[in-house]
Amino acid sequence: MADEEDTDSLDLRCGWRSWKPKFMQQFNSPKWFLFFFTVFSCVQGMIISGFTAAGLTSMERRFQLTSKQAGMIVAAHDVSSLIFVVFVSYYGETRHKAKWIGIGALVTSIGCLLFALPHVLAGKYAPNESVRDTLEKSLCFPNSNNVTTSCENLSASDWKYMFVFIGAKLVLGAGMTPAFTLGPAYIDENVSPEVAPMYIGVWFIATFFGPGVGYLAGGTLMNIYVDLIQPPDMDLTPSDPRWVGAWWLGYFCGGILLLVTSLLILAYPREMPGTKEIRARAIRDGKVMQSNQKLHGRMSEIIPATKYLVCNAVYMCNTLALTGTGLVVTGLAPFISKFLQSQFGANTADAGIFAGVVIIPGTAGGIILGSYLIKRLDQRIVCKDAAKYCLIFSFVGIFGTLTFLIPGCQTTVIAGVNTPYPEMTRLQNMSSCYSPCNCVKIDYIPTCGRNNITFYDPCHAGCSIMFENKTYSHCRCIAKAMNLSLSESSAKPGTCDKKCKNLVPFLFGAFVLLFTNFIVATPNKTVVLRSVPYNLRSYALGFQWLIMSSLGSMPGPVLFGAFIDKTCNLWEERCNETGACLEYDNAQLSYLILAAGLLFQVLATILYFLSWYFCKSNKPADNGDKSFVTADDNLTDLELQRIQEARNTGSPLIQVRGLGSNDDDVKDIHASQLSLVSLTARGMGNVARYPSGTLDTQL
């Protein structure tokens, strides 16, 4: 791989290949790039997190997927990210970052359109019958077997479409990789260190604002029938267990918008006008680390670069802490709508809207405050203070996880599932009270009996009469349980009252939890960008994403999906095939999520403490009027500040040991002559840059 070309020879105009129209030059600035980049990040966040999570329940119903299978779909995009992130982040550091980001956006748009493809391949959604026909056929008809023919007409599970979803997610993951590794570095190198935190903060806000908007928009889309218009004989509503919303529509529209955005990002030059001067001034003033002189972006240097990052205690502790909290956030996010539906009684559409109402202010507010706090810091010692903010707010987040202790709905009591039938003393699926009815479990039509017990459908309650208002009478199982006559026994559609409560307190607690988790977003990235050499920033971000993906966001959805499946009380069954979960044990669900969240939040807090501690302990020794460093050391922000202060006073010396063949060799350098001493690892080059900026001397 060739070294980075001389920036003096670059064409810094905005445009596409040889076409650089004059009107495009008004957009050739960091602010306009930030605008287009944040639009891309917001839209992809809407799609990847918001639309997916809001529509996941509908996808499970439409294609008969379990939560674990749904989690595999969500996690698939991290697999391709894992494959490409090292190559993109390291090789892309010395290449045209804007072009790579634009190509990634183009690939992401293709992935969005592929994700909507199963809607076309599967054809129109066809529930068995209209609501009234289904209710009538679900009644008890003694000594009749006509309902068994319905099972023969049912199609097999549509699990095969899961592989189409996974393939589309792999494409999406590959397309997203350049944005999250090269994007912050491209912004950071084109603006001054003083405003970089605000720029990155705005990008973070857009990135995490997107999922919130996606939840809101996705919740609205769930009010639209999957095929846009219901067949004439259908009258399904979003509260019907068979309802499937337009889960695919957001992906289709988002893919078109990303296609347009990708073309605009592709127009930007390798670097913007003035970038070279900004970089030189930042290095001269000690606000960013000097480039590692032995790393030039060659693929053969990945191993030493990786070793450098792994041995960087500040960087690794910071990364592992973010991975722990990321596992919980990315693992729970796809299922938050499902959680609100089960735990607090929200319907499919409202659950997405409620999630969006919490996510937007929680993430945006946290990122804005975090960016503001970082901007106020002295940029020469920002790394240590940023690590301190991460520690403080991670500790506060421990108390935020207790939100999942807030009680919501009681678990649905279902006959034969978690409570015995009237004449039974133990749980059994069969009961003599409905045995003459020849019931078949096809569609879940929850029916609440007068005895406050929920039945799978009217047939399993033994009900044989349905009135115009869709209530039932002559229910054998209810009559037997309450010692009533058949005419006195009754039931109504839907589950029995689960006494749902505390939705607003839970949403407030979730807001606090999100706020404390996302307030560290900008400080965390600041620690990464300021704890590594200048020319390792992109790779440091990419390697961080590699660790987060492999240990956090990739296993997270699968792990939480498996947890959620473990709490399932009732599975949908179609012709001896298990489909999606219908009812959950709410108490067990809350405790499992609480335990996982608390565990990883505590671990993250410990790791943030270690990150802050190592920042603090990298203080150079005080040798009177000399500051002491060795060639084995990496100069931290604090050391750079000490050197800068020494240079300003014009008196102390910087004592450097280990520069020659003998480790005991010492060279005293007058601090007033230095603007920066950059010491990486022994043998990787130690450069003293004099104030004129024209003389570089190898020590």
Residue 579 three-state SS: strand
Are 421 and 482 in contact by the 8 Å Cβ rule? The answer is no
Fold of 14-126+158-286: Growth Hormone; Chain: A; (1.20.1250)
In this predicted structure, what is the pLDDT of residue 430? 66
Burial class (CB in 10 A: 0-12, 13-18, 19+), 697: exposed
Task: Give the Cβ contact number of residue 124 at 10 Å.
Answer: 9
Q: Which residues pair with 677 in a beta bridge?
A: 688
Cβ 75 vs Cβ 558: under 8 Å = yes
pLDDT > 60? residue 697: no
Query: How many other C-beta atoms can be found within 10 angstroms of the C-beta atom of residue 492?
Result: 14
Of 334, 338, 268, 299, nearest to 31 by C-alpha is 268
| Structure-token pair, residue 284 | 């001269």
pLDDT range class, residue 574, cuts 50, 70, 90: low
Provide the pairing of β-strand 472-475 with 463-466.
antiparallel
Contacts of 652 (CB under 8 A, 6+ apart): 625, 626, 627, 646, 671
**Region(s) of the chain under CATH 1.20.1250.20:** 14-126+158-286, 299-409+499-617
Pairing of strands 577-584, 454-455: unpaired
Query: 660-664 — which CB contacts under 8 Å span 24+ positions?
Result: none
| pLDDT tens for each residue of 394-417 | 999 999 899 999 999 999 998 888
CA distance 423 to 432: 8
Q: Which two tokens stand for residue 196?
A: 């970089």
Give residue-wise pLDDT tens across range 441-461: 777 888 999 888 999 888 888
Cα within 13 Å of Cα(307), Cβ side: 8
Report yes or no: 164 and 118 within 8 Å, Cβ to Cβ.
Answer: yes
Asked if 418 and 427 count as a contact pair (C-beta separation under 8 A), the reply is: yes
Q: Which helix (H) or strand (E) holds 45?
A: helix 30-45
pLDDT for 32-54, tens place per residue?
989 999 999 999 888 887 888 88
Alpha-helix runs per DSSP H in 377-463 = 382-400
Strand boundaries in 264-391, DSSP class E: none
Q: How far is CA 530 from CA 371, 387, 675, in A?
A: 15, 11, 18
Phi, psi of 468 (to 5 degrees): -60, -30
pLDDT band, very low/low/confident/very high, at 256 (cuts 50, 70, 90): very high
What value does the mean pLDDT of the chain take?
Answer: 76
Distance CA 454, CA 446 (A): 6
pLDDT at 464: 87
**Region 14-20 average pLDDT:** 81
Residue 558's pLDDT is 84
C-beta of residue 79 within 8 angstroms of C-beta of residue 554: yes
Other beta carbons less than 10 A from residue 668's beta carbon: 11
pLDDT at position 633 over 70: no
Contact between 51 and 251 under an 8 Å Cβ cutoff? The reply is yes
Q: Which phi and psi angles does 596 have, rounded to 5°?
A: -65, -45
User: Strands across the sheet with 696-698, in order?
Assistant: 676-679, 686-689, 696-698
Average pLDDT over residues 268-296: 59
Confidence (pLDDT) at 625: 37
Q: How far apart are the first and last CA of the chain?
A: 28
Please, are residues 397 and 549 in contact by the beta-carbon 8 Å criterion? no
Q: Which CATH code for domain 299-409+499-617?
A: 1.20.1250.20
Query: Which range, of 89-103, 135-149, 338-352, 447-461, averages the lowest pLDDT?
Result: 135-149
The Cα–Cα gap between 489 and 487 comes to 6
Residue range 620-644: mean pLDDT, rounded: 42
Residue 332: per-residue pLDDT: 84
Please report how many Cα atoms fall inside a 13 Å half-sphere around the Cα of residue 566, on the Cβ side. 13
Strands (E), 529-665: 568-574, 577-584, 621-623, 626-630, 653-657
